[in-house]
Amino acid sequence: MESYKEGTSMTRPPLLDSANYGYWKVRMQAFISNLDEDCWNSIELGWEAPKVTDDDGVVSLKPRDKWTAAEKKLSSCNSKAKTAIYNAIDSSRFKLISQCASAQKAWKTLENMFEGTTSVKRTKLDMLASQFENLRMEEEETVADFSAKLCDISNESFALGKVYKDKKLVKKLKRSLPAKFESKISAVEEAHNLDEMAFDEFVGILQAFELSKAYETKGKMKKVDEVKKEVDIGVALKGSSTEDSMAMLSRQFTKYLKRKGKERKDRIDEELRSSSKNVQC
């Protein structure tokens, strides 16, 4: 899964580019909410400058020096949210929202630019749903890599207003697993209710199983290498000529006789020395 280097700081908003709007939208919501909950409310609920109505029923902007503490706070939160959006985009996109009085208007402008109208959103959601259903895990693919693909689709759909619940993600992952996971799935289903299991918990169980199988395979491969080495040695000996084999046996036998002869000589010398010590004059 692609990782973005921008926006990893608590004080720096994630940078928007044309390829990561869904990611940016979710991260940006969290960033603005972290500034102040009312900052996000200024986007979700909107904000307008306070107004007053005179005795003749004429509505006009309320003078700033007449604003209440609550009105000042809401205005400040709108400004903070709008500033955060400004700091998360480049100069070309800034031109699109520079005249927006509210953070909500700036947010909606970017949303329409990248997500389109309601009909465009629906088309994108249909495409993502099709990708989700057709996605299958390859035999050599890891659980981490495949689950990341599911999360990418889920996150993009969430940014467009559709939520993929854990139950749906778990069922999709279960259906997509290769045959080597069948025994583990049966064991998990006996011990747990998959309808109530969190997606990340299910992924963790499968990754643990995947790791144990990898260690098991590694151990088997080590044994195979040892057996292959023994076979190769046997083949090499078998392939040598009879004369070579006899010559090798002769050399080994000669070494054996020399060693035994030396041991016998050493033993006799020791006995003679011992006898001489026992002789009394």
Lowest-confidence segment of 111-120, 162-171, 268-277 by average pLDDT? 268-277
The answer to whether residue 174 sits within a structural domain is yes
Are 102 and 40 part of one and the same domain? yes
The answer to whether residue 277 sits within a structural domain is no
Lowest-confidence segment of 192-206, 227-241, 244-258 by average pLDDT? 227-241
Residue carrying the six token digits 């979710």: 26
Label residue 86 exposed, middle or buried (CB < 10 Å: 0-12, 13-18, 19+). middle
Task: Tell me the per-residue pLDDT of 138-148, one tens digit each, with 9 for 90 and over.
Answer: 988 999 999 99
Are 107 and 160 part of one and the same domain? no
The answer to whether residue 222 sits within a structural domain is no
Q: Rounded to an integer, what distance in angstroms lies between the CA atom of residue 222 and that of residue 232? A: 15
Of 75, 92, 112, the domain-final residue:
112
Are 164 and 128 part of one and the same domain? yes
Give the DSSP H/E element, type plus range, for residue 61.
Answer: strand 59-61
Higher pLDDT, 154 or 267: 154
Are 142 and 165 part of one and the same domain? yes
The answer to whether residue 190 sits within a structural domain is yes
Q: Supply the pLDDT for residue 199.
A: 94
Token pair, residue 251, equals 């050399």
Q: How much is the mean pLDDT over the chain?
A: 82
Are 124 and 199 part of one and the same domain? yes
The answer to whether residue 281 sits within a structural domain is no
Number of domains in the chain: 2
Are 84 and 155 part of one and the same domain? no
Q: How far is CA 93 from CA 38, 86, 87, 112, 175, in A?
A: 25, 9, 11, 13, 42
Are 75 and 133 part of one and the same domain? no
Identify which of 160, 163, 159, 155 has the alpha carbon closest to the alpha carbon of residue 122: 160
Q: Give the per-residue SS3 of 192-233.
A: CCHHHCCHHHHHHHHHHHHHHHHHHHHHHHHHHHHHHHHHHH
Task: Tell me the per-residue pLDDT of 114-139, one tens digit each, with 9 for 90 and over.
Answer: 888 778 888 989 999 999 999 999 98
Are 125 and 209 part of one and the same domain? yes
The answer to whether residue 15 sits within a structural domain is no
Q: Supply the pLDDT for residue 120.
A: 83
Are 154 and 204 part of one and the same domain? yes
Q: How far is CA 30 from CA 26, 83, 173, in A?
A: 7, 15, 28
Task: Tell me the per-residue pLDDT of 58-80, one tens digit each, with 9 for 90 and over.
Answer: 999 999 999 999 999 999 999 99
Of 196, 214, 232, the domain-final residue:
214
Q: Supply the pLDDT for residue 51.
A: 94
**Structural domain containing residue 138:** 119-214
Give the type of residue at 71. Answer: E
Lowest-confidence segment of 40-49, 66-75, 168-177, 186-195 by average pLDDT? 186-195
Q: Supply the pLDDT for residue 127.
A: 94
Of 153, 185, 214, the domain-final residue:
214
Share of the chain above pLDDT 90, in %: 51
The answer to whether residue 7 sits within a structural domain is no
The answer to whether residue 26 sits within a structural domain is yes
Q: Rounded to an integer, what distance in angstroms lies between the CA atom of residue 207 and that of residue 238? A: 46
Are 89 and 171 part of one and the same domain? no
Q: Supply the pLDDT for residue 98.
A: 92
